Amino acid sequence: MQVELVHMAVFDVGSELELDRVATVLGQAPVRAPLVARSPLPTYAGILSPLETVIETTVEVTRPDGSVYTVAGRVESRVHAVGVVAIRLRTMVEHEGIDGLGRLAAGLRIDGRPFISAAEAWMASIRPELAAARVEPYEVHVPPEPYLVFAIPGSGAEPTRLLEQEQGPLTALLMGDPSGSRISTRLIDHVLRAPLQYDVDDLVLVGPEATVVVSPREPYEDVLDVLEFANLELLELRTYDAYLDRRLDLALPTLSRLQRPGGVFRSARGVLTELSETRLDFARLTENLRDTGKLFGDWYLGRLHRIASERFHLEEWARAVTAKMQTLNDILHLAEEAVDHRRAVILESMIVLLFVLDLVLIFMVA
């Protein structure tokens, strides 16, 4: 059977982007790529309208017997205004059954390199093209977020058959386990507990490392776009987490600087202002997590996003980042309050000293 493999990698650019200032991506003029849903989207779902370019490449595929053949691959580079670039490699391969699909996907090579290495090379070419579009850059490096989608054809009964007879291999694909020989029944029940269907003969199973789409009779770009957006959110949460780790590492020197002699003339307000701006940006991201209807307006896609959010633990990441942000905020506010207290003590001491000096001068004149 023919299976489409969609390798996906999501990269953080290090700043937000003004898309109108992006002239080329991988040497080509980009076009808008709005989400096309199975039912109408609201007009305010513009967050899912990145810039996109498409190039062709050659992909080396290794058969189970070890022989290698080449197929055409399609590279889609998608630039999001939030400062994220998603790179997809789409490849059609021949394979019988579910067993071995994970190993086949992991063994794909582009110019002798695995997908993630090729994606990093493409991203290295894209970064200079985005330089003029960057807004308020930040220096936080976060590794890319990889993901994989298996699009499997089948007849009307195929989704039911797979769920009943191929539970182990399906779970292995979703977990990114090439062998899947020791997967427990408990894990199978957990991973396969939320199948999603739109038509009676299609099926989407979302896992932490991959998604399986069965019977894609029509383009399933909406499924890919929502999975891309969920991976984008995970990457942004990881970026905020790394940024706050860095700020916490710098909080100790800030406290030490404020407590040294002369600290009363220093302030943590600059850091507090930067933290407040970060808090606003983070609030916007977490609002998107909680209100998927505002983004998608489509019941099917909204439910798909909720399942992906649960699989990627987005809410847990959001809570962890919120707690870390609050910790940093408390530390800096305590430091600022300590400096304010010391300033108040010094001012009160100076007032008392001036009062005493005034009395001394009065007695001397008298």
pLDDT at 26 > cutoff 60: yes
Q: Residue 339 pLDDT > 70, yes or no?
A: no
- For the ranges 67-76, 107-116, 166-175, 217-226, the lowest mean pLDDT is seen at 217-226
Predicted confidence (pLDDT) at residue 45 exceeds the cutoff of 70: no
- Find the mean pLDDT for residues 350-356: 87
Poorest-confidence range of 80-84, 208-212, 332-336?
332-336
Distances (CA, A) of 272 to 14, 112, 261, 323: 21, 48, 22, 16
Residue type, 50: P
Residue located via tokens 């009676």? 200
Residue 71 bridge partners (DSSP): 59
User: Side chain identity at 335, as an amino acid letter?
Assistant: A
Identity of the residue numbered 48 = L
Q: Is the pLDDT of residue 234 over 60?
A: yes
Q: How confident is the model at residue 44 (pLDDT cuts 50, 70, 90)?
A: very low
What is the pLDDT confidence band of residue 270, given thresholds at 50, 70 and 90?
low
Least confident span in 69-83, 250-264, 317-331, 337-351: 250-264
State pLDDT tens for residues 64-108.
Answer: 888 899 999 999 999 998 889 999 999 999 888 888 899 999 999
Both tokens of 140, joined, read: 């936080």
Tell me the residue type at 79: V
Return the minimum-mean-pLDDT range out of 3-12, 56-65, 294-303: 294-303
Task: Give whole-number Cα distances, 250 to 8, 246, 301, in Å.
Answer: 34, 6, 41
Global pTM reads 0.83
User: 280 or 176, which is more confident?
Assistant: 176
pLDDT at site 267: 54
pLDDT of residue 273: 66
Coil, helix or strand for 13? coil
What does the pLDDT look like over 119-151, one tens digit per residue? 999 999 999 999 999 988 887 889 998 999 999
Per the CB < 8 A criterion, the answer to whether 171 and 209 are in contact is no
The pLDDT of residue 111 is above 60: yes
Residue 334 vs residue 10, higher pLDDT: 10
Give residue 138's pLDDT.
80
Lowest average pLDDT, out of 33-47, 207-221, 239-253, goes to 33-47
What's residue 46's pLDDT? 47
Report domain extents, the chain. Answer: 2-219, 228-365
Q: Which of 23-37, 47-61, 191-205, 293-307 bottoms out in mean pLDDT, i.e. has the lowest? A: 293-307
Residues paired with residue 59 on neighbouring β-strands, in sequence order: 71
Contact 310, 191 (CB under 8 A): no
